[in-house]
Structure 1
């Protein structure tokens, strides 16, 4: 009897142990499932967070940003060559992406003060190209014509006659600043026109930041010229302000978009609040920046008012989807 009791108690104890083991295993399984479920949720949350941080930029935004890359290439090469005698091929060859070397660009005869400013502006353009290529694929540098003959041709258009001797942007500081004035408003008005069309926050942030620097650069050049606006450019005997006015008019004429540009001395109706003829910055009746469309920019850059015919500063046409679309049409 004592033996049977011991055996019975043993079986009861064993049964309890097995039940506890099963219960413990179930709890463990439940705990593991809960942990795995939590990890999946955390992973999904992290993935969503990552996707929100690195949003895919719409193709339209990419095309618009890349269109502006053409202008940054143009400004970068002109400024770097003017200050150093060489451009992206030495300063940042990876950014040129093996695009053809610009034609005719060279070191300008600049006074130390002007040289310091132009060198800074050129380096800033290098940074702008890098910033753009971090956001969009970009493309190789297009072939660009920066010969003195190209600038002289624009001056002939602006004045309606050849000015003798032919204008040479690299001859001295004042000529170089006037030539820079010819180029800078293109990027400025293009950025202003681009921003309202952008769909993604990342693209808006990039172009807004580029516009901030571009407007500052344009203001620097205009201020330097404004300080000398009554100075007569040797050997033409033409005041600096007349050069700026003529170049603004020819840009408006070529773009076919109405008044999107103003020189340093204007009809008082076009000055700030319509009160004075002096015009340190270019802006509409509310002193708000002008905007240009891509086709208007190309008409100016190609120097003949036709966005479908390459020429001028881009002998083979500008690069990117938008510019090539106009050429194919």
Structure 2
């Protein structure tokens, strides 16, 4: 049993509120506004964390479904107050392997959306407004690719997916210590593993595409690290002239991000107190929505 599991849930949440650590094993940093707000009146609930995850899964499912089918999630799976989704189109895949990988990604992410909606029941949040056009417009500057369209070809599709998958893995790892229900912990761990498979495959395929793809992927990593907060929680797919397909800490563990660090990336901002922007022009739905 590690030091984290010896803490009570209330003690862990108090520490998180004070020190902002979804990754609270060895190091704490900037104050975590949303946790502080949530715990000032009541403890954050497992359902709040799953609602946060559902927001992310909506975006991933929409991205992959639009890339593979040309259309997004069906009305039955988005909730009664679903926001619109702007952008996205069917990718003209050239590689059979990448096309099949994309189909599997879309199937997995839609399954995650359905799992969370089923698990949360009446507490499931509807799909938030998602804007791929505005989000990727900002990403173009970070990539140094003014004509970058994630739906234009195989490489661009993988780069766009990498933006979500790397963040998703660190988000799940950061949220795991906060969950109280054993069943919720088991579910989050199982989904984290699938997201990590996705990430590893995308990074591997990009690396094999050569110098252009490697530089673009590293640019995505650098851009994320500039806005997510203090500390280095990102790694490109090439380091010191060698492949770096598995981003990991010196202890060989996955990096962990707090919800606020994740929100800075998807809102495309480095400012605290922001509750919308980037891919979510009207913000996420649920309690955890402010950087």
TM-score between both structures, scaled by the size of structure 1: 0.70
**C-alpha distance in 2 between matches for 1:319 and 1:187:** 17
Aligned equivalent of 1:51: none
CA contact (8 A) 2:135 2:279 kept: yes
Aligned equivalent of 1:301: 266
CA contact (8 A) 1:102 1:146 kept: yes
CA RMSD of aligned residues (A): 1.7
**C-alpha distance in 2 between matches for 1:67 and 1:172:** 30
**Runs of 4+ off more than 3 Å:** none
Aligned equivalent of 2:15: none
After superposition, give the CA deviation of every residue in 1:44-76 in whole Å (9 maximum; x if it has no partner): xxxxxxxxxxxxxx8521111111111111100
**C-alpha distance in 1 between matches for 2:128 and 2:135:** 16
**C-alpha distance in 2 between matches for 1:154 and 1:293:** 21
After superposition, give the CA deviation of every residue in 1:78-137 in whole Å (9 maximum; x if it has no partner): 000000000112xxx222114123101211221233222111110111111111122222
Aligned equivalent of 1:243: 216
What does 1:243-282 align with in structure 2 at a 5 Å threshold?
Answer: 243-267=216-240, 277-282=242-247
CA contact (8 A) 1:76 1:125 kept: yes
**C-alpha distance in 1 between matches for 2:266 and 2:100:** 27
Larger RCO of the pair (alpha carbons < 8 Å, separation 6+): 2
The correspondence for 2:73, drawn from 88, 92, 106, is 88
Aligned equivalent of 2:158: 177
- Does residue 73 (structure 1) correspond to residue 38 (structure 2)? The answer is no
After superposition, give the CA deviation of every residue in 1:204-246 in whole Å (9 maximum; x if it has no partner): 011111111111111111111121133xxxxxxxx11111111
**C-alpha distance in 2 between matches for 1:110 and 1:300:** 27
The correspondence for 2:204, drawn from 223, 227, 232, is 223
- Does residue 124 (structure 1) correspond to residue 95 (structure 2)? The answer is no
Q: Cα offset for 1:155?
A: 2.5
The correspondence for 1:191, drawn from 160, 164, 172, is 172
Q: Cα offset for 1:321?
A: 1.0
**C-alpha distance in 2 between matches for 1:163 and 1:79:** 21
After superposition, give the CA deviation of every residue in 1:280-316 in whole Å (9 maximum; x if it has no partner): 1111112210000000011111112235331100000
Aligned equivalent of 1:289: 254
**C-alpha distance in 1 between matches for 2:217 and 2:200:** 13
After superposition, give the CA deviation of every residue in 1:24-53 in whole Å (9 maximum; x if it has no partner): xxxxxxxxxxxxxxxxxxxxxxxxxxxxxx
Structure 2: gaps (5+ residues): 1-42
CA contact (8 A) 1:229 1:264 kept: no
**C-alpha distance in 1 between matches for 2:54 and 2:271:** 20
Aligned equivalent of 1:312: 278
CA contact (8 A) 1:257 1:296 kept: no
Q: Cα offset for 1:186?
A: 1.4
CA contact (8 A) 2:67 2:91 kept: yes
Relative to structure 2, which stretch is displaced further, 305-314 or 284-293? 305-314
CA contact (8 A) 1:71 1:186 kept: no
Structure ranking higher in helix proportion: 1
